[in-house]
Amino acid sequence: MSRWIDVRKNLRSFRFAADGIIALFRFENNAKIHLLAAVAVVIAGIWLRLDRIEWAMILTQVALVWAAEAFNTAIEKLADVVSPERHPQIKAVKDLAAGAVLLVVILAVVVGILIFGTKLMEWLERTGWF
């Protein structure tokens, strides 16, 4: 009888995925910038006492930005292997992938402004600054 789930294979897959995440933040400059921004957002979230729903929305945005950056990096690396020399179609592919990251980042900033802006205004009112 065959096994329904191959646990060893799954654990190996998780290890490969973890290696990818480590490589993303170790070698990719933009991912490091996103990581620093995420740390700042978490600190601000703790300071402004985000509720569970706000945390869920913020952490989802952080994960989406990181995932988009990982996909972009994977596409760029694959494109460089497929066509090491300059090629207009490869440039278009890379530009589209980078544009996708930018769209996700813009949306994350908008969500951040909506959540943190509201919290900051509440804090300013409570402390008498506004």
What's the full length of the chain, in residues? 130
CA separation, residue 3 to residues 9, 12, 15, 87, 124 (Å):
11, 16, 21, 46, 59
For the annotated binding site for substrate, the residues are 69
CA–CA separation, 76 and 95 (whole Å): 9
Nearest 10 degrees: CA dihedral of 69, 71, 72, 73?
90
For the annotated binding site for ATP, the residues are 28, 76, 85-87, 94-95
For the annotated binding site, the residues are 28, 69, 76, 85-87, 94-95
Instruction: Name the residues annotated as catalytic.
Output: 69
